Chains A and B, each alone.
Chain A
């Protein structure tokens, strides 16, 4: 949200300056590569999470970028009755459309993105306690035998809303929100995918997942082209 304010202010400043129509504005084209610093911070703060993501995009038209992410996540899901460790890696690919009208040689983005994502992952069921409403016989059966459920895959579609701001020459800070819609997943026998790396926490009631990322990226400038 802070970025949004910066954009708004920047836009107001730009109105005051006079755009010179006679000089052509050059657009920079190049490969932008970044890392998810949000996941790094979460890894250091949250004992039950570790993960990292590398993202890249490449401008193919003035407003259009091909974009993708690759990452891994390890997440513990723990409640009174279950203790699960999920780990795996994922890859996402798609396009971003810049909706932000840049002034002069500014190169910021407020964008909408579309992705398809795929994940391979496994669950370790570390322990569980049987759930019973009736508590006459206590405690209920507790199992501490680790069960490994491996070779699982999931596919999903994703809509992204985000922004990227050039804070230094070719250096970008960005954030985005992701809404994911599950397409298919292998559901393990007598278990469920409580978490899917890249997709996030699953919900019993729907195939919707959510996510966010907060990243720092550097554009390797390759060539310039007239706007």
Chain B
């Protein structure tokens, strides 16, 4: 029996240590880290109400992949990640998109997305803010400007920041409105 007592204490100590280590060394999902840009899509005729865009496809300029949340998605808001290694992020947003098979239905390597493409440019300055040991640093974005690149056939009609010198420091509120 004496040996059990001798063994129990170090086992308890190790268990306690490992529990406390894990809790502190993994960044919890609930911790606010690098925020994304939140845009509400408003009705151009009735600017107080949100309006859906149908079959929206979003792709970042210089990125090979579609933004996973917006692949033929009906939505009245947008949540866009900003680049933490550059002061500019550009997106192409395609409204009422459809897949054009380029005349070859069996070959999907030459398929492309049809629809009204609009391009937006986001410029900002960055600041790295310490969060915690497990999460390290997050980036917050200051003086964010959103420009709709004019192409003569824009489905986005106007954009408006929610405040002057709009910054993106968290994901609790909308940062920009776009009417269409």
Contacts and interface: CB of A to CB of B under 8 A. Distances in A.
B130 A191 contact: yes
Could you say which interface size class chain B belongs to?
35 or more
B65 interface: yes
Interface string A81-123: 1100000000000000000000000000000000000000000
Contact of B60 (A137, A190, A192): A137
A139 B133 contact: no
A161 B11 CA distance: 18
B136 A131 contact: yes
B36 to A, nearest CB: 6
Nearest to B135: A131
A60 interface: no
A204 interface: yes
For B10, B24, B60, which residue has the most chain A Cβ atoms within 10 angstroms?
Answer: B24
A77 B24 CA distance: 13
A1 interface: yes
Nearest to A203: B24
B33 A190 contact: no
A141 B136 contact: no
Q: Bin chain A's interface residue count.
A: 20 to 34
Given A82-B136, A141-B128, A192-B132, A133 B63 contact: no
B84 interface: yes
B56 to A, nearest CB: 15
Interface of A: 1, 4-5, 77, 79-82, 128-134, 136-137, 139-143, 190-192, 194, 202-205, 210
Interface of B: 2, 6, 9-10, 17, 20, 23-25, 27, 29, 33-34, 36, 60, 63, 65, 67-68, 81-85, 89, 126, 128-139
